[in-house]
Amino acid sequence: MKPTRRLLLQSAAAAPAFAAKTTTKAGSAAVYERLGVKPIINGMGTVTVLGGSLMPLEVVQAMDDAARHFVHLPDLQKKAGAKLAEMLKVPGAMVTGGAAASISVGTIACLTRGDKKRLQSLPDTGEGWRDVIMQKTHRSGYEHQMMMAGAKIVMVETADELRRAISPRTAMLFYMNKAENEGRIQRAEFIRIAKEKGVPTFNDAAADVPPKENLWNYVNRDGFDLVAFSGGKGMMGPQSAGLLLGRKDLIEAATEGQSPYGGIGRGMKVGKEEIVGMVAAVERFLRVDHEAEARELDRRVAEMMKLIGNVNGITMSRYVPEIANVVPHLAMEFQPGRTPSAKQVHDQLLAGDPAIYTLLRGENSLMVSVWMMQGTEHRIVGKRLGELLKA
């Protein structure tokens, strides 16, 4: 059934975590069941392995409309980027093939600085910019996204080491936003040193909305030259899309570093549907009442705790991560040696029908995200947890 204008307006007024539930579940399930795949209950949050998030109707509609016409893709990329930059009040913006692709094309921009000859030679950097410096505690596995462009990763631990490591071959300083509290160089000092040396800074903030202000604060307030966000997490855009925001000259260089242009970024294709869907997702995300959403998530956490009830050896609390996925979660601490243990409960939830995915944090801790649960799924999870813990 094609969404009507009335349905779209109703969806736009809904809180973000729940707008997507108007998509018919039966139809979606049938699509997967034909392939022998069963839908699950997402108690992990906006994680890539479970598909990120569910797109609201207006995003799906925008992508459906985009799929019905041909356009000149570079023109669409340029004008969509200008629209995003205007909405977010940042110097430059572009739609990428996800946060990981944002890291790659951002690295390409810093390796080439708009020089087309350098771009065509990558991953061979020759005698030009090559080194990307980052803190050891910010290692995440995404270093490969920089290395594939030709970058050499240089690890440091202290501010003095950082200063000594910067050389004429330094292309970029990389910062992992969710590792803010783990490194010895805090963001203000990290950025200050980079600016003193004239080296661009990159902040991977993939999962760090809400709050929506992060979309412009990391650039305008903190001073990062480039910032990456996932499109298919908190913003509920296409899972295969992301944002790269920051300095206009670097955004322009990054745009030529991905498809449909040639070179190292050719495989980082972003279709016209994803570009249009990402713009629609940002428009919607900016008008959503995130405080109302948080209140609803709090209500869900409280209802789950009530359904589970008091259980010996279990401490339950409301938990909001300090960085990334900053929304209410249910945190469960298990007394050491208790049976069933946190891992046993986690595994039993996975073995159920439907399978319930949660976050196992060590041997004695389980965290449940209610953010991506649809309808009354939080009640199913609460009841199932109560049964397992009391059995």
Domain boundaries along the sequence of the chain: 1-54+289-391, 71-287
User: What CA–CA distance (Å, rounded) separates 326 from 341?
Assistant: 27
Confidence of residue 324 (pLDDT cuts 50, 70, 90): confident
Confidence of residue 263 (pLDDT cuts 50, 70, 90): confident
**What backbone torsions phi and psi does residue 257 show, to the nearest 5 degrees?**
-95, 5
- Average pLDDT of span 94-107: 97
What is the residue whose two structure tokens read 């087309």? 116
**Higher local confidence (pLDDT), 2 or 177:** 177
Confidence of residue 7 (pLDDT cuts 50, 70, 90): very low
172: helix, strand or coil = strand
Any bridge partners for residue 170, and if so which? 131
**What backbone torsions phi and psi does residue 345 show, to the nearest 5 degrees?**
-65, -45
Confidence of residue 165 (pLDDT cuts 50, 70, 90): very high
- Any residues with CB less than 8 A from the CB of 196 and at least 6 apart, and which? none
Kind plus residue range of the DSSP H or E element containing 226 = strand 226-230
> Is residue 13 predicted with pLDDT exceeding 60?
no
Q: Check residue 38 and give left, alpha or beta (phi > 0: left; psi -120 to 50: alpha).
A: beta
What is the residue whose two structure tokens read 């290692």? 139
pLDDT for residue 19: 41
Q: Is the entire prediction scored with pTM above 0.85?
A: yes
pLDDT for residue 28: 63
Q: Which CATH number fits domain 1-54+289-391: 3.20.10.10, 1.20.1740.10, 3.40.50.970, 3.90.1150.180?
A: 3.90.1150.180
Instruction: For the domain made up of 71-287, give the CATH fold.
Output: Aspartate Aminotransferase; domain 2 (3.40.640)
pLDDT for residue 391: 80
Confidence of residue 27 (pLDDT cuts 50, 70, 90): low
